[in-house]
Structure 1
Amino acid sequence: MSPRPGRSTRLIALAILGFLGATLLTAAPAAANTAPRITKATISTWLPVKTEGIIQWTPAFSYAARDDQGVTGFQVQRKSAPWSTSPTRRAKMSAAGYVWRADGSSTWLYPSRTSVRGLLDPGAVDCFRVRAKDAAGLTSAWTGWRCAHAPMRAAETWSWCCQPNLITGLHLDGSADGPAVAYVSTRFGTQRSNGAYCAKGVRVRVFKGPGQGKMNVFLGSSKVGTVSAWSRTSGWKWVTVRRSTDACGRVRLVPLTKAPVQMTRNYMLY
């Protein structure tokens, strides 16, 4: 006596499902072979002011990754913008290049090397990004760029020999913040930087208070933004002005009021 058709169909279906289930269970471990994951990529963003010794910075870009197969190497890329001391030599961000092994044999650094260092002069910027490779040859995506910015004090940014609106030794809050401030007021006119830049903006430290004023910031002929130092309370504050695209030329501080804007230092933004 032959089995009924309905029962036969159910048996065949169950057999197929059992086979597929066994196949999926066998293949499951392959899914664990994934690309590495970057777990750390850090550098100090705003470097502190130096007033003694060699005025340079060597910030460390530190990184780490995790992977089920084991990380076998890192690739690190760097791009940088130098300090400009001349209005005819514009500082701009370089193209990205690889950090090589010490012997120059490969851009894939040994997995034991988990940091690289930059070298910055005042006003310079160093940017890094990293990716990792595992034993199976899979690579992670690049991280975003992480940038370190070296500060410029007022006397390093603005001419200290020929402009009356640089006042040395002025510490409005009683601290040793720096040897000078740039004093921007309609009494003295526009203040121009020593160097020229192709950048997006600046981050400036100004003294705020009831007797403080306002200025516009330009890169070349392009306006970057407005800085207001007026406040009901007195003290120091940071102000960032930035464009969406690069502008080129000397940084110009154009006073809008007789009341001054007094700036101790600044960072260039790219």
Structure 2
Amino acid sequence: MSTEELERGFDATAFGYYVRNNGNCCNPLTSERYLTKGVRIKVRTGPTFGKARILIGSTVIGTVDGYAKRYGYKYVTRQRSGNLTGAIKIRSLSRFSRPFRFTALWALRATAPLASVRVVEKYDPGTAGPFHDPVSNGDTTRPRLTAFSLAPTFPTKRNSNGVYGGTATWKATDNVKVVGYEVNFKWVTTGTSYIAGGTWTTTGTSMPVQVDFSGDTNCYRVRAYDAAVNFSAWSGWKCSYSPLDPMGEWTAGAGYSAGGKIWTSVRLTDEYGARARTTERYSAKRLRIQYRVGPTYGRAKAYVGGVYFGTINAYAARYATRWITFTGPREAHERIRFEPLTKKDVYIGKVHVIPDVTKTVTPGPTRY
């Protein structure tokens, strides 16, 4: 059983619900409709609290008194022998100065006899999550996810909305029919670990992926379900990495313009004498770095804080743009910085920060 989130009303706080008999507002508080035989309620008690009546639909199942000489909490159960269908209502019986307060409410599961076939929750395709509409179905075969991709992994051009992004696509099969998919999301910006996003349900087989901010990482995984709510296994995580852009991301600023792009010089220093480095701190297991090459360019080392990731050799017979990927000895959490090794300069373009995608993350509990 889980707590029911009621409509918050008059003078409600993040830690409980107040019900006051003031003649107009918020009496009673009302839940969604349930098939239930009663409730269990956590009541705030004390000398300033009063009584309330509990109803399921129009049927009164009992009263609860919150009065006590000292402040505290108590659990109270009120139920009938048979099942009732309707919204759970908490109606105050005391005047305005004696509110009834509770912090949690559980609907007691109805005990109506079930048929011999399996009864499951049915998903409402195209909406956010399951609803409690029992469906009889003997199907126990799980769907199988056959494909899942996210591209591009390293976007370098902004889309029509002005952000970096791509598309996630997937496919699945089932012995009867796949009716929908759950898509789970997590992201990381400058923190040391992933943040759980949420879980969407959809009947589609693709969705746009947008990485809004410089240096962000957005990761997705998907699983399929059928009409009997058999789930496939989750896919692995796939991620899209928004690049760091030189302007605004480096304390040393830009130092060179070529091909309509701005490049950061690793030899420039800021007002504190620091070489090219990011203004923010990032968690990085790998770095994917864009840089200029040519006969007038030299070498530079790449670091995340004090952790050495690799050396860029920008010398080449002809001028061009290249990419290189460095993997650090461990995931480091600090500023990304570059140290020149030669008098000849090195110019850095976009930098993709790649965190450790094997880190675990708890899926977001809210479907929306």
Is the structural similarity TM-score above 0.5?
A: yes
Q: 1:93 to 1:59 in 2, by over 3 A?
A: farther
Q: Kindly state the Cα deviation for residue 214 of structure 1 after the two structures are TM-superposed.
A: 1.1
Kept after mapping to 1: 8 A contact 2:143/2:172: no
Q: Where does residue 99 of structure 1 map in the other structure?
A: 199
Per-residue deviation at 1:134? 2.5
Cα 1:244–1:223 change in 2 (3 A) is: closer
What 5-or-longer segments of structure 2 have no aligned partner? 1-139, 356-368
Distance of aligned partners of 1:76 and 1:196 in 2 relative to their CA distance in 1, 3 Å threshold: same
| 1:194 aligned counterpart, secondary structure | strand
Q: Match of 1:226?
A: 311
Distance 2:196 2:167 in 1: 18
Matches within 5 A, 1:172-251: 175-176=259-260, 178=261, 180-185=262-267, 190-251=275-336
How many angstroms does 1:54 deviate by? 6.5
After superposition, give the CA deviation of every residue in 1:82-137 in whole Å (9 maximum; x if it has no partner): 2xxxxxxx43442444323xxxxxxxx13246425434212211111111122354
Contact 1:69 1:136 in 2 (8 A): no
CA contact (8 A) 1:208 1:233 kept: yes
**Which one-letter code corresponds to 1:37 in the other structure?**
L
Q: C-alpha separation between the residues in 1 aligned to 2:300 and 2:349?
A: 15
Identity, % of aligned positions: 23
Q: Does 1:36 align with 2:136?
A: no
Residue 171 (structure 2) pairs with residue 64 (structure 1): yes
Verify the 8 A CA contact 2:219 2:240 in the aligned structure 1: yes
Query: Relative to structure 1, is the Cα distance of residues 142 and 53 closer, same or farther in structure 2, using a 3 angstrom cutoff?
Result: closer
Aligned to 2:155: 47
Give the TM-score, by structure 2 length. 0.52
Q: 2:281·2:333 contact (CA, 8 Å) conserved in 1? A: yes
Q: How far apart are residue 220 of structure 1 and its match?
A: 1.1
RMSD: 2.9
Deviations 1:172-221 (A, max 9, x none): xxx22x2x211123998732211111221321111112222111111111
1:82-121 alignment, distance < 5 Å: 82=189, 90-100=190-200, 109-112=201-204, 114-115=206-207, 117-121=209-213
Point out which structure has higher relative CO (alpha carbons under 8 A, 6+ apart).
Answer: 1
Counterpart contact for 2:300–2:341, Cα < 8 Å: yes
Instruction: Tell me which of 322, 342, 348 is aligned to 1:263.
Output: 348
Measured after TM superposition, the shift of residue 71 of structure 1 is 0.8
User: Which amino acid counterpart does residue 327 of structure 2 have in structure 1?
Assistant: R
**CA separation in 1, counterparts of 2:153 and 2:351?**
13
Q: Distance in 2 between matches of 1:248 and 1:119?
A: 20
Deviates more, 1:109-118 or 1:121-130: 109-118
**Counterparts of 2:144 and 2:268 in 1: how far apart (Å)?**
57
Structure 1 pair 116–233 and aligned structure 2 pair: CA distance change class (3 A): closer
Q: Pick from 227, 239, 250: which aligns with 1:135? A: 227
Matched, 1:252 2:334: no
Name the CA distance, whole Å, in 1 between partners of 2:194 and 2:274: 33
Q: TM-score, normalised by structure 1?
A: 0.69
1:200 and 1:212 map into 2 onto residues whose CA distance is 27
Counterparts of 1:267 and 1:57, CA distance in 2? 12
C-alpha separation between the residues in 2 aligned to 1:72 and 1:244? Answer: 44
Name the count of aligned residue pairs.
214
Separation of aligned partners in 2, 1:57 and 1:233 = 30
Q: Structure 1 or 2: larger helix share?
A: 1
> Which one has a larger percent strand, Structure 1 or Structure 2?
2
Q: Is the 8 Å Cα contact of residues 202 and 267 (structure 1) preserved in structure 2?
A: yes
